[in-house]
């Protein structure tokens, strides 16, 4: 027995353009109200595990619901369970700025709903991306070798983790001359980074078939930057043992403390040994929009690849990672694949970029739109003002810390992250931070440096002011004093 096909009327099933306009306005109004009132909300969510899930029905509705009901449940179901990353007193992890023009660009990108996997599947998606990443090369003071008018170029990826994996795959295939793609990764390949490098490198080593044991953790100096002499010794020892060094990752602005590896000295080591140099500027890379922060990328002209996240500090909403390579052929050689169903005249002409060959997924959104809109809305000068304000607030906070009796600086603060430790007692530091976080007045997270408990104050939210930093600092000091039994 065959099921009868019901008559299908799309107009009866979907919102009309007028309904979309009305609901869209309501959604934007909801967000604008949220922005206006966000400073009064607790920064960190206070829900218990399972609390949000318990407010949801056990199954999807059989019949469609009106849009009003969906918006209402943002307030009734969701908001208690949100930690507010856009809150002016969010100082945890690193910022994830979603500026207003970026939000609207994401809306438009979703609405256009195009897949930009090939140039031919939406030429504007590819060409805006190429041009805007070239703009960013200039805006950030990056080497010309990363521009698209030579053998190099840039691509937008979802995260720095993915970009670092792609760098490792390109480096692996360069060493193996393509044999890794054919036969799988052989044993004996090695990767190098400082002990403070981001965990995404170890994950990349696993995914690329090298394994965690391939990762060499290079010693650091007193400021937690990589020691290039130790790096050279580690590579030479592996070479002498018959191993094959694939890639070195230097970090400009580590996640723990924004330590800056000496890129130029590291590039000397990698160039002399023919090892791929990848530089991770995921957070710190935004700062080089200001000329006064470009010292940290001296030597980048000898790197093979570079990644930074406009979705952290540069006002572009998650996700938007910018990744550049000096030799695009090394990247597409590792990742390019052309099945018959994607073959087309533009690809065959060799005159266009097909970004699907520059990253892991096939499908890709119009992510350059939000980068383009942010660059145009703020201008380079606006972005500089944004970065400089946070760096200045961090220096101010560092001054307050150094003047006080209870806390001290735990690391240099070249950018906008300040690392503090309690002068007497790590346990007091941990408990004081939890008191502040539980109160909802600010949100701070921690790390460990030199085997001490360290509170990180990561300044960088688009609405954060010096008063917000001062309040978080005063709250932390007062909480620690109460825990120690001192009076504030
Ligand atoms: C945040 C961060 C990453 C990872 O970023 P994702 O885009 O979330 O993958 C990598 N490296 C550093 C230094 C970071 O701070």
Position in ligand 1 atom list of the atom nearest CA 312: 1
Position in ligand 1 atom list of the atom nearest CA 163: 9
Over residues 144-153, the mean pLDDT reads 97
pLDDT-based confidence at residue 9 (cuts at 50, 70, 90): confident
pLDDT over 60 (residue 1): no
Cβ–Cβ < 8 Å for 215, 223: no
Report pLDDT digits (tens) over 182-195. 999 999 999 999 99
**Looking at the DSSP assignment, which residues form a beta bridge with residue 452?**
449
Over residues 162-177, the mean pLDDT reads 97
Cβ–Cβ < 8 Å for 344, 104: no
Report pLDDT digits (tens) over 311-332. 999 999 999 999 999 999 999 9
Residue 309 CA to ligand 1 center (angstroms) comes to 8
pLDDT-based confidence at residue 339 (cuts at 50, 70, 90): confident
Give the long-range contacts of residues 4-11, CB within 8 A, separation 24 or more.
none
Tokens describing residue 131: 């041009």
pLDDT-based confidence at residue 5 (cuts at 50, 70, 90): confident
> What distance, in Å, lies between the first and last C-alpha atoms of the chain?
81
| Alpha-carbon distances, residue 172 vs 185, 247, 326, 333, 358 (angstroms) | 8, 8, 16, 11, 15
* Cis amide bond preceding 319, omega within 30: yes
Torsion, Cα 33 37 43 44, to 10 degrees, reads -50
Indicate the top mutation candidate among 163, 193, 200, 419 to test ligand 1's pocket, ranked by most ligand atoms within 8 A of CB: 200
Cβ–Cβ < 8 Å for 85, 329: no
Cβ–Cβ < 8 Å for 269, 299: no
Specify the residue for token string 């044991």: 213
Over residues 393-406, the mean pLDDT reads 96
pLDDT-based confidence at residue 7 (cuts at 50, 70, 90): confident
Q: The dihedral of CA 160, 163, 167, 168: what is its sign?
A: positive
Q: What is the mean pLDDT of the chain?
A: 96
Which residue's C-alpha comes closest to atom 5 of ligand 1? 160
Residue 242 CA to ligand 1 center (angstroms) comes to 32
Q: How far apart are CA 218 and CA 234, in angstroms?
A: 7
Number of neighbouring beta carbons within 10 Å of residue 183: 9
Which residue's C-alpha comes closest to atom 12 of ligand 1? 282
Position in ligand 1 atom list of the atom nearest CA 283: 15
pLDDT-based confidence at residue 341 (cuts at 50, 70, 90): confident
Which residue's C-alpha comes closest to atom 1 of ligand 1? 282
Task: Lay out the sheet containing 189-194: strands in order across.
Answer: 153-157, 321-325, 305-308, 276-281, 244-251, 189-194, 215-218
SS3 198: coil
Report pLDDT digits (tens) over 226-249. 999 999 999 999 999 999 999 999
Tokens describing residue 213: 């044991």
Task: Lay out the sheet containing 445-449: strands in order across.
Answer: 407-409, 417-422, 452-458, 445-449
Q: Check: CATH 3.30.70.380 for 114-365?
A: no
Indicate the top mutation candidate among 307, 309, 314, 322 to test ligand 1's pocket, ranked by most ligand atoms within 8 A of CB: 309
Position in ligand 1 atom list of the atom nearest CA 319: 7
Report pLDDT digits (tens) over 61-120. 999 999 999 999 999 999 999 999 999 999 999 999 999 999 999 999 999 999 999 999
Indicate the top mutation candidate among 85, 163, 254, 255 to test ligand 1's pocket, ranked by most ligand atoms within 8 A of CB: 255
pLDDT over 80 (residue 2): no
pLDDT-based confidence at residue 379 (cuts at 50, 70, 90): very high
Report pLDDT digits (tens) over 45-56. 999 999 999 999
% of the chain exceeding 90 in pLDDT: 94
pLDDT-based confidence at residue 161 (cuts at 50, 70, 90): very high
Give 234's contacts (C-beta < 8 A, 6+ positions apart). Answer: 192, 216, 218
Least confident of 23-37, 120-134, 139-153, 338-352: 338-352
| Sequence spans of domains, the chain | 114-365
Residue 60 CA to ligand 1 center (angstroms) comes to 35
Query: Running DSSP on this structure, what letter comes out for residue 425?
Result: -
Query: Running DSSP on this structure, what letter comes out for residue 146?
Result: G
Over residues 261-283, the mean pLDDT reads 98
pTM of the predicted model as reported, rounded to 2 decimal places: 0.96
Q: What does the pLDDT read at residue 487?
A: 65
Cβ–Cβ < 8 Å for 265, 228: yes
Q: How far apart are CA 186 and CA 193, in angstroms?
A: 21
Q: Ligand 1: list residues with CB < 6 Å.
A: 94, 159-161, 198, 200, 251, 253-255, 280, 282-283, 309, 321
pLDDT over 90 (residue 8): no
Query: Running DSSP on this structure, what letter comes out for residue 47?
Result: P
């Amino acid at each position: 027995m065959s099921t009868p096909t019901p008559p299908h009327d799309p107009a009866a099933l979907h919102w009309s353009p007028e309904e979309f306009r009305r609901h869209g306005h309501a959604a934007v109004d909801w967000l604008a109200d949220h922005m206006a009132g966000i400073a009064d909300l607790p920064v960190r969510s206070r829900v218990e595990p399972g609390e949000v899930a318990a407010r949801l029905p056990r199954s999807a509705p059989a019949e469609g619901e009106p849009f009003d009901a969906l918006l209402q449940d943002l307030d009734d179901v969701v908001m208690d369970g949100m930690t507010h990353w856009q809150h002016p007193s969010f100082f945890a992890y690193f910022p994830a700025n979603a500026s207003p023009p970026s939000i609207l660009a994401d809306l438009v990108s979703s609405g256009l709903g195009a897949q930009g996997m090939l140039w031919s599947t939406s030429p504007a998606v590819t060409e805006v991306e190429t041009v805007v990443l070239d703009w960013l090369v200039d805006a950030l003071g990056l080497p010309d070798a990363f521009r698209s008018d030579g053998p190099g170029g840039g691509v937008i990826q979802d995260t720095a983790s993915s970009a670092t994996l792609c760098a490792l795959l390109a480096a692996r295939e360069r060493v193996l001359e393509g044999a890794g793609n054919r036969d799988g990764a052989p044993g004996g390949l090695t990767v190098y980074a400082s002990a403070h490098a981001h965990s995404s490198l170890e994950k990349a080593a696993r995914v690329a078939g090298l394994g965690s044991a391939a990762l060499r953790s290079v010693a650091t100096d007193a400021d937690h930057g990589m020691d290039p002499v130790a790096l050279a010794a580690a590579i030479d020892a592996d070479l002498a043992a018959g191993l094959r060094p694939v890639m070195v990752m230097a970090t400009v602005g580590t996640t723990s403390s924004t330590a800056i590896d000496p890129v130029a000295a590291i590039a000397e080591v990698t160039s002399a040994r023919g090892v791929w140099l990848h530089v991770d500027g995921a957070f710190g890379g935004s700062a080089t929009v200001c000329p006064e922060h470009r010292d940290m990328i001296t030597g980048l002209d000898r790197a093979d690849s570079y990644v930074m996240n406009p979705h952290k500090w540069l006002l572009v909403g998650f996700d938007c990672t910018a990744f550049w390579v000096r030799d695009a052929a090394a990247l597409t050689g590792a990742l390019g694949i052309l099945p018959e169903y994607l073959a087309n005249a533009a690809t065959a002409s060799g005159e266009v970029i097909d970004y699907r060959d520059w990253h892991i997924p096939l499908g890709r959104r119009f992510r350059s739109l939000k980068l383009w809109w942010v660059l145009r809305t703020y201008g380079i000068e606006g972005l500089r003002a944004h970065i400089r304000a946070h760096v200045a607030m961090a220096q101010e906070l560092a001054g307050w810390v150094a003047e006080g009796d209870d806390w001290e600086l735990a690391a240099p603060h070249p950018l906008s992250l300040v690392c503090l430790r309690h002068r007497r007692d790590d346990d007091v530091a941990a408990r004081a931070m939890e008191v502040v976080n539980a109160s909802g007045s600010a949100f701070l997270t921690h790390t460990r440096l030199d085997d001490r408990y360290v509170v990180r104050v990561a300044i960088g939210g688009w609405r954060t002011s010096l008063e917000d930093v001062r309040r978080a600092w005063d709250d932390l000091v007062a909480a620690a004093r109460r825990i120690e039994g001192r009076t504030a």
